[in-house]
Amino acid sequence: MIYEPLEEGETLEDTTPPVLVSGDGVEYVLPYIQVFDYGTPSSVVLEDFADNDHQNNLGGAVATYKGENYTEGGGYWYTFIDKLGSSIENCTSPTLAINAYNVAEAIHNNEICLDINIANDASGYGGFGSNILFEEAAIDLSDLTQVKITAYGSGSPVGVMFETTDIDRTVQDGWGNYAASTPITLSASPQVFTYNVSDFVGEEYSAIKGDPLEPHLHLASKFFFQLKDGATAKIHITNIEFIFEPDAQDPDTLRVAKFDWKNDDYDPSFVFDLSKVGVPAEIDQSEPYMDWSTAILTPAPTVMEADDTNIPADTGINNWLSVDGTKLRDSHGRLVRLTGVNWFGFETKNAIPFGLWARDYKDMLQQIADTGFNTVRIPFSDYIIDQSKADNAAYHLGELDITINASLNSDLNSSMTPLDLLDKIIEHARDIGLKIVLDNHSRGPDKYLVEGHWVTEEYPEEKWIANWVWLAKRYKDNDAVVALDLNNEPHFEAGWDSDKASNNWNEAAERCAAAIQDPAKGNNPNALIIIEGVEGLNENSPAVDKYWWGGNMKGVLTAPIEIPVQDKLVYSPHEYGPEVYLQPWFRDYRFPNNLPYIWEDRFGFIYHLDMGHLFVGEFGIKNPSPQGGISAAEKWFDEFVQYMADHREGYSWTYWAWNPNSGDTGGILTNNWEDVHQWKLDKLSDLQAPMIGNRNGK
């Protein structure tokens, strides 16, 4: 199969999406992998700003981080603005203040339109833009010759800019802005503005004033529109075209991303017999992503211990959890499970959880509990902890470039640090019975994608462990902080019991857990220790041994984790569907019947071999199936929820994400940060467990 780009003038709604014809005879709709709306032999074009399905490139309408190059899971639109009274609103009625979290409200008739008012005529600024990556389109910035923008509107001229991360120059933080020498002059009728690469020169505050954008660059981080110094404008963008030198080898090739894979011959009558133990002989043992010759599928248990629905009354005693074989029990011995959501933001440059410009944090937590969840997994970065511990005034809430509505969060003040806010969230969660999982998502803010390893140059292992010891001691008497997720999604070179000791995540996790539980250090034998898997067991693992980042637990078979307080150990894979990445097993005719075999091989054996309790820290789905069909994403999600339900006593989980601003999965919340996607809750409701409670132990 091949993913073709859209034709000029088409939207996704105009096309027939690609499908996988499965061995069970069902056609499953696959995600449409595209990076621009359509392409020509010499350009790529974006013109449907209402389309929210562009992945990892310029496009889409939902963004996340205010004024920074952060987008959770993809490259969508964002806004940025000073804190001097400037404003950005949509152009339609009723008017609405637009920030990076609701840019979708600025889309009308497939155009993006913003009314920008820069209040301060000395140092004010504001604008909007998108991350751009050309790598998936078989082109890079060195091929770029021109940019054409179709726009109309009224008001002041609007600057057109690139911001790059690969400028081969020494500037603060490695960033540099290049502004077009001539801005867009708006008129009532759409006009086409054409810029050559040489028109983009260093902006005055970028330390590279006057130097042109060098065409040797391989990556542009942002392409954006900006107003400064008291300017006002209402601008409509209808079309952006990036024009490149034609491919000398194949000048007629469309310069857009295509996705190819082999066309398997399949027998529509072939269906897996899941009643058998082991793998049917008919299965092709040469598949690159699964060693079918050794795969074992144990039948789902027919008798399981049920969740205990009798929530103990308050006793004033902490209610900690412990692992009993494959089960999780509270201090009364009741069978419990952590079933919750991820609320992210602390791990980003935002420095606090997203959404507090629209909601009170207490109201947010209460809604999480009211929708049936009993746990919140909170990602954070080491950097934010360090800045808070040092009481760095630059990281007080009043100084951060964040959106937080002080009137809605009245018990917060401008001198608080992000860690103070975390304390407040934990305190209220404890009061209403929610459990908290602290997730060390990255060392630096927004670095979870590129780090891979628990050690960086800025954060050697000793510093990473020291932060965990400090946090463990801080919350050792607070039973709301029920679990510590030591490192999110080890990947790239991170291994498990490999020949290279410095890459062995399992051994580093054991060292960290030992320090946390050591009476002379963290002195916290109470919290669960959550240890995730890896991508590949070895640095050069073949594809057959790889899986989602953090999702591969196969190393546990030969090198299980050992910690001082062993009944606090929980293993944690992450599991995602084809919306995040179209893995080979999603485009194989054996789908969806191959899924249980893959899950058993990667992590499910831990339950069936009685090796421990599992906590699926992340899994999620973005879109429902199209009308009249069923998507591979929804089929995967339904199958995985059922898989956990079949073994529910052995599985805790937190859905990714509560936030709507995840580019990969969206959220339980809709883009207004108040309403919920009921269809997602309906799919999860039967898998949710009762509240566990705090200070109700024995």
Q: How far apart are CA 411 and CA 176, in angstroms?
A: 39
Residue appearing with tokens 């499910």:
604
CB 127 within 8 A of CB 224: yes
Residues 560 and 599 sit within 8 Å (Cβ to Cβ): no
Nearest to 354 by CA among 559, 37, 692, 66: 66
Residue 340, CB half-sphere, CA atoms under 13 Å: how many? 29
Cα separation values, 174 from 169, 221, 509, Å: 7, 12, 32
Residue 322 in tokens: 């412990």
State whether the Cα torsion 490-492-498-500 is positive or negative: negative
Q: Residue 135 to residues 75, 108, 218, 220, 680: CA-CA distances in angstroms?
A: 13, 29, 8, 10, 33
- The residues, ordered by sequence, that sit 6+ positions from 485 with a Cβ below 8 Å of its Cβ are 377, 437, 438, 439, 440, 530, 532, 572, 617
Torsion of CA 406, 129, 236, 229, to 10 degrees: 70
State how far the Cα of 590 lies from the Cα of 21, in Å rounded to an integer.
Answer: 9
CB–CB of 511/464 below 8 Å? no
**Using the 8-state DSSP alphabet, how is residue 535 labeled?**
S
HSE-up of residue 587 (Cα within 13 Å, Cβ side) = 22
- Helix ranges (H only) for 533-574 are none
d(CA 564, CA 548): 29
Element (H, E) at 635: helix 632-646
From residue 172, how far is each of 63, 207, 423, 598, 633 by CA, in Å? 25, 8, 33, 46, 42
Q: Which residues are catalytic?
A: 489, 618
Q: What is each CA distance from 96 to 267, 405, 463, 603, in whole angstroms?
A: 54, 16, 44, 46
Q: Parallel, antiparallel, or unpaired for β 111-117 and 222-228?
A: unpaired
User: With the CA atoms of 506, 510, 512 and 515 taken in that order, what torsion angle do they form, in degrees rounded to the nearest 10?
Assistant: -170
- The sign of the dihedral angle between the CA atoms of 186, 128, 91, 196 is positive
- Which residue spans within 50-110 are E strands per DSSP? 77-81, 87-90, 107-108
Q: In what order do the strands lie in the sheet with 335-336?
A: 322-324, 327-329, 335-336
